[in-house]
A and B are shown apart, each in its own frame.
Chain A
């Protein structure tokens, strides 16, 4: 520009390209914002529908009594209890195994070794296996081969295999997020790898590990396929007396009364769905709260 050579101050002049860039920026922001808002719509619709159609069914009695009249009336108590059983036992199996595997992969496994790569690949692929395949695996392995029969144990173990990769990945990621400098400092002062893990790495990775585990609760509670062949029953007139018994479960109960049983009043399946959704929501909210609480105590 000619005026630059002058001694008096030059006012900045926006050139056409600047204006165009600014317009594109505005447009992109609006489009991306709309997409983000769109995301909320299905969630909001689901919640509204469930609340509107399901809430008439919800009562203390609904939660604490058995289904009656061929599951066209009554409550969901055995299914609710069954889901708690299944989730608890599956976590009991998948958490120690998954966290231990994650610690090994993150802290001990040589990063460029073929075995490490095989384990990582297996973990990723296991996470991608459809749940119906897990169901068939559970049927073959736990029900038939290990002779556990169709039982809470077999169904829980199937769920555990399904949730295992996510527990491993979540734990691995939170272990990796602990700065390497902390490990170096400990090793240099003569700490063994295990002492370093126990005193410094694990306490600081606990937040992420816990969150990962809690999110698995909602996943395990909502799955139908893996438990359908391995331990969950359509209807049982009594509660399971131990882990070798079959049980009812919320997800399967919902599937059954929506598709297999004629003449169920509309509010019952919606009520079951609302309860299931409520459990998932409460668990997730707890997980988010825990994450925020522990993050506020973050130490570096």
Chain B
């Protein structure tokens, strides 16, 4: 892929290698993620999916042993040349495998990010909180108890709270790391509907342990295995069996993983 093509991509990754000491978690991954795409990443445990996400928003800075080589371009600019890494991170919302309701009220959970960005106007924050909770399909359930603790919500609600918190950042990219691991099937379907809506406004990177979830949501899907990106392609094609690597086919068919 040439340079001009990568300029239209939201995220463009070249030869990304991630090491923890002597252990190589990810090696030589190159791929492009255009704007407003849902990009799925599937693969068994320890295939480097989470490390990949960490490299995108420069969380390697917070982990002393994590070393990143290669380049990650965000809007065409290498993330390592961003002078303010906090500005970069606030443009990328992250949702974790296990829901993390911060020990704050529901309102404060969602208001934290705007407040950290320096927004002090109460009505402006009110508006961001309501909009984010609505977009995360949680508003109707919590609008009457915004002052109660976010960490006391049910697992599924907390995961939507986490999504609302990520959306309160007004992110350009939303990264979800196996978000449905601790969420019941009904809530999972609700969140999936939310993601389909969000695709209009942002780029979604969906790391998932559920192959069928990638099938339902992702425009394109990458298959990671043992720290390598085995294959990237149109999700529909991959699931229709048009694969170049037999391992991709075997994983999608559930023969291992």
The complex places the Cα of A90 from the Cα of B98 at a distance, in Å, of 44
Q: Encode A218-249 as 1/0 by CB contact (under 8 A) with B.
A: 00000000000000000000000000000000
The complex places the Cα of A192 from the Cα of B62 at a distance, in Å, of 11
Q: Which residue of B lies closest to A188 (CB)?
A: B94
A104: CB under 8 A from chain B?
no
CB distance from A205 to the nearest CB of B (A): 11
Contact between A189 and B90 (Cβ–Cβ < 8 Å)?
yes
Contact between A190 and B103 (Cβ–Cβ < 8 Å)?
no
The complex places the Cα of A34 from the Cα of B113 at a distance, in Å, of 55
- Residue picked from A111, A199, A203, A299, most chain B C-beta under 10 Å: A299
B162: CB under 8 A from chain A?
yes
Q: Which residues of B contact A203 (CB under 8 A)?
A: 103
A187-B62, A189-B166, A190-B113 known; A181+B151 contact, CB < 8 A: no
B59, B96, B113, B116: the one contacting A181 at CB < 8 Å is B96
CB distance from A196 to the nearest CB of B (A): 9
Chain B interface residue count, Cβ-Cβ cutoff 8 angstroms: 31
Contact between B87 and A110 (Cβ–Cβ < 8 Å)?
no
Chain A interface residue count, Cβ-Cβ cutoff 8 angstroms: 21
CB distance from A291 to the nearest CB of B (A): 17
B20: CB under 8 A from chain A?
no
Which residues, 161 to 214 on A, are CB-close (under 8 Å) to B?
Answer: 181-182, 184-192, 195, 199-200, 203-204
Contact between A189 and B89 (Cβ–Cβ < 8 Å)?
yes
Q: Which residues of A contact B91 (CB under 8 A)?
A: 190
Q: Which residue of B lies closest to A192 (CB)?
A: B86
Q: Which residues of B contact A300 (CB under 8 A)?
A: 101, 103, 151
A15: CB under 8 A from chain B?
no
A200-B102, A200-B103, A300-B151 known; A185+B116 contact, CB < 8 A: no
B92, B104, B116: the one contacting A191 at CB < 8 Å is B116
B100, B103, B165: the one contacting A204 at CB < 8 Å is B103
A interface, over-half SS: helix
B149: CB under 8 A from chain A?
yes
Contact between B94 and A189 (Cβ–Cβ < 8 Å)?
yes
B17: CB under 8 A from chain A?
no
CB distance from B169 to the nearest CB of A (A): 6
CB distance from A113 to the nearest CB of B (A): 9
The complex places the Cα of A193 from the Cα of B100 at a distance, in Å, of 18
B221: CB under 8 A from chain A?
no
Which residues, 75 to 114 on B, are CB-close (under 8 Å) to A?
Answer: 86-94, 96, 98, 100-104, 112-113
Q: Which residues of A contact B62 (CB under 8 A)?
A: 187
Which residues, 43 to 96 on B, are CB-close (under 8 Å) to A?
Answer: 57, 59, 62, 64, 86-94, 96
A111, A184, A190: the one contacting B100 at CB < 8 Å is A184
A185-B162, A204-B103 known; A190+B89 contact, CB < 8 A: yes
B64, B93, B98, B152: the one contacting A110 at CB < 8 Å is B64
The complex places the Cα of A111 from the Cα of B65 at a distance, in Å, of 11
A182-B103, A200-B104 known; A188+B57 contact, CB < 8 A: yes
Q: Which residues of A contact B117 (CB under 8 A)?
A: 190
Q: Encode B120-134 as 1/0 by CB contact (under 8 A) with A.
A: 000000000000000
A185, A190, A191, A192: the one contacting B96 at CB < 8 Å is A185
Q: Which residue of B lies closest to A298 (CB)?
A: B103
A190-B90, A190-B169, A299-B149 known; A199+B103 contact, CB < 8 A: no
CB distance from A268 to the nearest CB of B (A): 51
The complex places the Cα of A111 from the Cα of B117 at a distance, in Å, of 29
A110-B64, A192-B86, A195-B116 known; A182+B59 contact, CB < 8 A: no
Q: Which residue of A lies closest to B88 (CB)?
A: A190
Contact between A185 and B64 (Cβ–Cβ < 8 Å)?
no
CB distance from A53 to the nearest CB of B (A): 49
A110, A182, A192, A195: the one contacting B102 at CB < 8 Å is A182
The complex places the Cα of A190 from the Cα of B113 at a distance, in Å, of 8
Q: Encode B160-188 as 1/0 by CB contact (under 8 A) with A.
A: 00100110010000000000000000000
Q: Which residues of A contact B101 (CB under 8 A)?
A: 300
19 pairs, CB–CB < 8 Å, chain A vs chain B? A110-B64, A111-B64, A181-B100, A182-B103, A184-B96, A185-B96, A187-B62, A188-B92, A189-B94, A189-B165, A190-B86, A190-B88, A190-B89, A190-B113, A191-B116, A195-B116, A199-B116, A200-B103, A299-B152
6 shortest interchain CB distances as A-B pairs: A299-B103, A190-B90, A190-B89, A188-B94, A185-B100, A300-B151
Which residues on A are within 8 Å of B, measured CB to CB?
A: 110-112, 181-182, 184-192, 195, 199-200, 203-204, 299-300
